Chain A
Amino acid sequence: MFSFFQSIGAYTIGGVRKTGHMTVFLGTTLYWTVRPPLKVGRLLRQISFTGAKSVPLIVLTGGFTGMILGLQVYYTLRKFGADAYLGPAVALSLIRELGPVLSALMITGRAGSAIAAEIGIMRITEQVDALESMSLSPFRYLMAPNLLAGIIAFPLLGSIFNVVGIYGGYIVGVKLLGVSSGTYFSGIQDFIEFNDITDGLIKSLSFGVIMIWICTYEGYYTRHGAEGVSKATTTAVVMSSILVLVWDYFLNSVMV
């Protein structure tokens, strides 16, 4: 019985310690992100990797998400004779919720895992130590450009997801199911407010911070060779995805 409580205590202390450690890591990353000079080359490389190279994936998933939404929402709205509201229903769902969340989960799967693996391999092959040995902070060269790239890329990719999704809904609703094109777009214009868009962008931005934070942290503290890298990558993706959803719930409860 005693060992049961002992293990609960040890688990709790371990959790609190890791949370503190991760918070310090995020603070250090933020410090090196705002401290000049910025590593522009590295930042552009990361924007290209996290952002530009994720565009095809985002277009594909955004398009199909919009099409599925168009189909499902149309049949639901038709039951109430409200199929004219298809446009705003699809757009609101995407802009406020599905765009930021699904794009974040997609980017985490594609870029987050690669970021964790790259930093993890740099750690186990002593490349991170090599930076330290030259009196150069790994936070400036590895973490800060990644964070800034995430802050820039996530809202942009989320927006692309939304636009493509809205057109996906348009294809299904207007071209296949016969909703009027004018009704679809004018409804969007009438019902979408500016704060819907800013709320979505804030979500995307915060999801970017979460993903980069967790993935760089897990990569940076990789241990024990190839198995360690594999473990760090898995943990990074799973933890980022869960945190994105938990944080999304928290933001929704504040924003709605």
Chain B
Amino acid sequence: MIEVKGLYKSFNGQEVLKGVDFSVDKGEIFAVIGKSGEGKSVLLKHLLGLLKPDSGQVLVDGEDMSALSGPALYKLRDRFGYLFQGGALFDSMSIFDNVAFPLREKTKLKPKEVTERVEDELAKVGLSGVGHKFPAEVSGGMKKRAAFARVLVMRPEIVLFDEPTTGLDPILVDSVHNLIVWGQKEYGYTAVVVSHEIPEIFGVAGRLAFLSGGVMLQVGTPEQIRNSDIPIIKRFVRATPEGGFLDEQA
């Protein structure tokens, strides 16, 4: 469904992506893992066309996202939902209005239908009764769930999750991961999740890719990544600091 071919991107001469290749099948949950600052979020923004690559392609059902602009890009983007790291809720609107926003702007639903759909979506993510509150009045976990409701309300075919659990406590991390899996089963979307939640992400994703040094070092099932022979992946998966600190202690 999504195929990324030879993606290069640099900012002010600093190369971030140096030829990234991978593909995501329809209906799967695909995770991109790797250390902070390796360009995972940059990669995700390329999938949605928010950033243009220096070279390479992002193919969505054969259509090159990176070559599109204007209405054609917007049309392809309509198939996507994007859950931003901080939620990116509009802080001048209530939670209800945030979730209703895409419905009001992009559909011709009547106000009553919008209300029903928003309340239904908020209930599904466990936010019944908080629609009147503003983003600044709710917790980080609630913001993430509200942002997820805003994504789901448009029934996207592909959902991109940019570190959806950053800054949450372990229980909330678990609840967000459950939501991702539940949403996939409920709506059948294809998901690309950028995460550093090890080992929790192994229970969520069907396949994972490890991004390091601007390239995908390994793409495989959770089992294959867990048992990887590549030293940097081994260290990352076992949460061992670089330089073998734990080895030295032993």
Interface residues of A (CB under 8 A from B): 122, 125-127, 129-130, 132-136
Residue of B nearest to A118 (CB): B92
Question: A133 to B90, Cβ gap below 8 A?
Answer: no
Residues A125 and B91 in contact, CB atoms below 8 Å apart: yes
Q: What is the distance, in angstroms, from B99's C-beta to the closest C-beta of chain A?
A: 12
Minimum CB distance partner of A134 in chain B: B102
Which residues of A lie under 8 Å from residue B102 when comparing CB positions?
A: 134, 136
Residues of A close to B25: CB separation below 8 A:
none
* B90, A127: Cβ atoms closer than 8 Å: yes
Q: Are B74 and A133 in contact (CB under 8 A)?
A: no
Residues of B within 8 A of A136 (CB): 102, 105-106
A133 in contact with B48 given A125-B91, A127-B90, A127-B91 (CB within 8 Å): yes
Collect the chain B residues with CB atoms within 8 Å of residue A134's CB.
Answer: 101-102, 105-106, 154
B49 vs chain A, min Cβ distance (A):
8
Contact at B74–A125, with CB atoms within 8 Å? no
Nearest-neighbour CB distance to chain B for A200, whole angstroms, equals 34
State which of B45, B77, B88, B91 has its C-beta within 8 Å of the C-beta of A135. Answer: B77
Q: How far is the CA of A134 from the CA of B147 in the complex (A)?
A: 12
Most buried by B among A122, A134, A136: A134
Give bound CA distance, A125 to B143, whole Å. Answer: 13
- Chain A nearest CB from B111 CB (Å) reads 14
A selection of 6 A-B contacts at a CB cut-off of 8 Å is A127-B90, A127-B91, A129-B45, A129-B50, A130-B82, A132-B50
Judged by a CB distance under 8 angstroms, whether B200 is at the interface is: no
List the A side residues contacting B88 at CB < 8 Å. 125-127, 129-130
B78 & A130 in contact (Cβ 8 Å cutoff): no
Tell me whether A125 and B86 are in contact (CB under 8 A): yes
Q: A104 vs B106: C-alpha distance in the bound complex, in angstroms? A: 37
Given contacts A132-B48, A136-B105, 13 further A-B contacts (CB under 8 A): A125-B86, A125-B88, A126-B85, A127-B88, A129-B82, A130-B88, A132-B50, A132-B77, A133-B81, A133-B82, A134-B101, A134-B102, A136-B102
* Nearest CB in chain A to that of B77: its residue: A135
Residues of B in contact, count (CB < 8 Å): 22
Chain A interface helix/strand/loop/mixed: helix
Interface residues of B (CB under 8 A from A): 45, 48, 50, 74-75, 77-78, 80-82, 84-86, 88-91, 101-102, 105-106, 154
Write the nearest CB–CB distance from B156 to chain A, whole angstroms.
Answer: 10
Shortest B53–chain A CB gap in Å is 17
- List, in ascending order, chain A residues with CB within 8 A of B50's CB: 129, 132-133
| Cβ-defined contact, B86 with A133, below 8 A | no
B90 CB contacts on chain A under 8 angstroms: 122, 127, 130
Task: Report chain B residues within 8 Å CB of A135.
Answer: 74-75, 77-78, 106
Please give, as numbers and ranges, the residues of chain A lying within 8 Å of B74 by CB-CB distance: 135
Which residues on A sit within 8 Å (CB–CB) of B84?
A: 126, 129-130, 133
CA distance A132 to B78 in the complex (A): 10
Residue of A with least CB distance to B71: A135
- Chain B residues positioned under 8 Å from A133 (CB to CB): 48, 50, 77, 80-82, 84
A244→B81 CA distance, assembly (Å): 42
Chain B residues with CB below 8 A from A129, complex form: 45, 50, 82, 84, 88
User: In whole angstroms, what is the CA distance A136 to B106 when docked?
Assistant: 9
Chain A neighbourhood of B85, CB < 8 A: 126
When C-beta atoms are compared, the residue in chain A nearest to B105 turns out to be A136
Q: How far is the CB of A94 from chain B (nearest CB, A)?
A: 36
Lowest 9 CB-CB distances: which A-B pairs, in order?
A: A135-B74, A130-B88, A133-B82, A126-B88, A126-B84, A135-B77, A134-B102, A135-B78, A127-B88
How far is it, in angstroms, between the C-alpha of A133 and the C-alpha of B77 when the chains are bound?
7
How close is B81's CB to chain A, nearest CB, in angstroms? 8
B47 to chain A, nearest CB (A): 11
CB-CB < 8 A to B91: which residues of A?
Answer: 125, 127
Closest to A39 in B: B105
Instruction: Give complex CA distance A135, B85 in Å.
Output: 19
The residues of A that contact B48 with a CB separation of less than 8 Å are 132-133
User: Roughly how many angstroms separate A135 CA and B49 CA in the complex, as a whole number?
Assistant: 10
Q: Which residues of B sit under 8 angstroms from A125, Cβ to Cβ?
A: 86, 88, 91
Q: How far is the CB of B13 from chain A (nearest CB, A)?
A: 14
